[in-house]
Amino acid sequence: MSDPLLVEAEPYAYAFDPRHTALLLIDMQRDFVEPGGFGETLGNDVSMLQQVIAPLRDVLDGARKAGMTVIHTREGHLPDLSDCPPAKLNRGAPSMRIGDPGPKGRILIRGEYGHDIIDELAPIEGEIVIDKPGKGAFYATDLAQVLQAGDIRSLIVTGVTTEVCVHTTVREANDRGYECLVLSDCVGSYFAEFQRYGLQMIAAQGGIFGWVAPSVNYLKALEARS
Ligand code: C5J
- Residue 1, pLDDT > 60, answer no
pLDDT beyond 90 at 2: no
pLDDT tens digits, one per residue of 33-47: 999 889 999 999 999
CA of 32, closest atom in ligand 1: 4
Over range 47-57, report the average pLDDT.
Answer: 96
pTM exceeding 0.95: yes
What mean pLDDT, rounded, does the chain reach? Answer: 97
Please indicate whether residue 132 is annotated as part of the active site.
yes
- Return the best residue to mutate from 73, 164, 187, 191 for the ligand 1 pocket (most ligand atoms within 8 A of CB): 164
58 is catalytic: no
Residue 220, Cβ density class (10 Å: 0-12 exposed, 13-18 middle, ≥19 buried): middle
Neighbours of 165 (CB within 10 A): 22
Q: Which of 104, 116, 132, 135 is catalytic?
A: 132
Supply φ then ψ for residue 57, to 5 degrees.
-60, -40
As a whole number of angstroms, the distance between CA 13 and CA 7 comes to 5
Cβ(138) to ligand 1 under 6 A?
A: no
**E strand or H helix at 157, and its extent?**
strand 154-160
